[in-house]
Chain A
């Protein structure tokens, strides 16, 4: 939190000189060295750091790729192949960037699931959470625009399907769609503007990430108990404790990432995207990238086009209202015996929608998409508010330290542990 005692003491003449002019080192020290982090954080709390790493990886690899990429109807696909074949380590850059997009979403979904499970959106973290929802939306836009740039069959037809969604809006729909396309159909003009926007968005995301981290450092991190940090013994300094744990988790994440980059780089993509875009030939099954599938399933489960579009965007917009939809006065689902089951059913529904989104929209797939879509919305709009009011939460530990020591520890045990920590 921002009100903890600063322990920054500039030691050499330069840092003293700097400190009295631009105290940036003092700020960094306070925010990333001394910053108190709850001592009971589990590995689900390491995805914030992992996501920051992924953003940097995507920006750096994307910058180099953009030096070789040509955003034109005729040359886009060829230039990607040139990168794969003739640019030095171009195949590596391309794999890092393409797999990176998937890994970014993989991490963000776990990060969001953690936020929901432990009630990290509840007061006073509403703004922090909403900034996160905005980052998620921007990421989706960036991912979609980037996938278009490959200009394979699935890129082209994915863009056609998704941009056509806007035409469902009454009155302005067709106008917006033509405006997005820059013409009467998806073409090289569309590709060129998508490239510009794809280059821009990561920097916008970077800006919102800074706000997200700022908001986090004002209110402090949530933790598995959902309790606030009450005494000094509840927390440990960020350096070395949280940083070291983050570093290890990042290395493990990098192992998985590298596995995909080197051994199964095309596993997460679609074979059809190795065929150059052809406006005259429609692939039999148009599916978006895996990370959009749950929302694609929601879109297709609604019989009306406009209804489907509204439900799809609504399913994301709804996330921003979580702080007010959840009526429980307990943050962590650990202490909510009834809500817990509904929440796991919700996670299951999202995975199921992801599976159904990749299947053709026919027969029982449509029926099940509707069932899970219904649950998705019912979970937020009915279950969350109602269960929060009816449920009696389990007894909360008196403090984070108390929870760490198994609930039986009183102030004495806490002090003993603090003493042990200080003796280190």
Chain B
């Protein structure tokens, strides 16, 4: 009986890997907008954060992102806690004191400002949504506390290959879709594609030279084509940026990072690629500050359960050994 099950399982495994192998080329060639999975130190079942990377990431957040984006679910104390950037406590305390925090009412019933403490939440750049929108051309910069978990990469797999990719993600412990997306977003600002011209109802790309010669033609963020109708150019709106990774390709946020914009103290080259990776790692930690503890406890739990299951299996075999079943 057991052997039939094992054989069945083995066949299933082989079949699944074949499906996966057959489907892989389909994916590689599917669309230029694909977001590539990155290697993250915190990915996979034994993942852990790279301390200096988190510290650099916080620097990028503080010097660049925090102009518009809050990170309200983090307190200053979190920056020196285990499993995070682990700044020395004095450093986190000193940092907190550079912020002015609202407090009160005092004995006279007045609200007042005081220097921040370790227990304070990191103050957001804007007091409320309206203030944020009015300062950002109507757009609302989202709070970044959970952004790394609140975004995902939509993978398009053919239905027959889905079981393979689901199993692969589960077995390898892939949970970094949000980080992959953020890294892609930060590094995918481009010039909008050259204007398109109509040819028998279809939009045809112009060369950059032709586009420069006809500056009055709109640049399209994307083309909508439906059977039986002329293609429609979704024009770039005023004040929007073209970004390959962003859904719809029009984003209100101007390119936040470029080479040399932040000076790293530890000698890491100040490149867009590095800034993007570092700040993404920092945001991944901010969204899941117990990640290291979780994975560590996970390995111990799996080990424990494996031993228990093994002992129970042995006992069960022994008890049933003389019973035909």
- Please list the residues of chain A having a beta carbon within 8 angstroms of any beta carbon in chain B: 39-42, 81, 84-85, 91-92, 95, 236, 240-241, 244-245, 247-248, 251-252, 254-255, 258-267, 271-272, 274-275, 284, 355, 401, 404-405, 417, 420-421, 423-424
CA distance A91 to B293 in the complex (A): 10
Question: Are A263 and B45 interface neighbours, CB within 8 A?
Answer: yes
Check A405/B324 contact, CB under 8 A, given A85-B289, A248-B313, A258-B305: yes
User: A241, A259, A264, A271: which contacts B320 (Cβ < 8 A)?
Assistant: A241
Question: Are A271 and B178 interface neighbours, CB within 8 A?
Answer: yes
Question: Are B302 and A91 interface neighbours, CB within 8 A?
Answer: no
Residue ID in chain A nearest B286 by CB atoms: A85
CA distance A258 to B173 in the complex (A): 12
CA distance A258 to B177 in the complex (A): 21
22 of the cross-chain contacts (CB-CB < 8 Å) are A39-B323, A85-B73, A85-B78, A85-B289, A95-B294, A244-B316, A247-B312, A247-B316, A251-B308, A255-B302, A255-B306, A259-B298, A262-B295, A262-B297, A262-B298, A264-B174, A264-B175, A267-B169, A271-B152, A272-B150, A420-B322, A424-B322
Question: Are B173 and A244 interface neighbours, CB within 8 A?
Answer: no
CA distance A65 to B298 in the complex (A): 20
Question: Is B315 positioned at the interface, with any CB of A under 8 Å from its CB?
Answer: yes
Question: Is B15 positioned at the interface, with any CB of A under 8 Å from its CB?
Answer: no
Question: Are B150 and A271 interface neighbours, CB within 8 A?
Answer: yes
Residue ID in chain B nearest A41 by CB atoms: B325
Q: Is the interface of B mostly helix, strand, loop or mixed?
A: helix
Check A248/B312 contact, CB under 8 A, given A42-B1, A85-B290, A259-B302: yes
CA distance A401 to B294 in the complex (A): 48
Question: Are B294 and A251 interface neighbours, CB within 8 A?
Answer: no
CA distance A326 to B309 in the complex (A): 39
CA distance A284 to B154 in the complex (A): 13
Q: How many A-B residue pairs have CB under 8 A?
A: 114
CA distance A183 to B305 in the complex (A): 48
Residues of chain A within 8 A of B309, CB atoms compared: 248, 251-252, 254-255
Question: Are B170 and A259 interface neighbours, CB within 8 A?
Answer: yes
Check A271/B324 contact, CB under 8 A, given A92-B294, A247-B316, A264-B169: no
Check A254/B305 contact, CB under 8 A, given A85-B289, A262-B297, A271-B177: yes
Which residues 33-65 of B sit at the A interface, judged by CB distance below 8 A? Answer: 45
Check A266/B149 contact, CB under 8 A, given A244-B312, A244-B315: yes
CA distance A245 to B177 in the complex (A): 39
Residue ID in chain A nearest B169 by CB atoms: A267
Check A248/B316 contact, CB under 8 A, given A259-B170, A266-B149, A404-B325: yes
Q: Nearest-CB distance from B76 to chain A (Å)?
A: 14
Q: Nearest-CB distance from B317 to chain A (Å)?
A: 9
Question: Are B312 and A251 interface neighbours, CB within 8 A?
Answer: yes
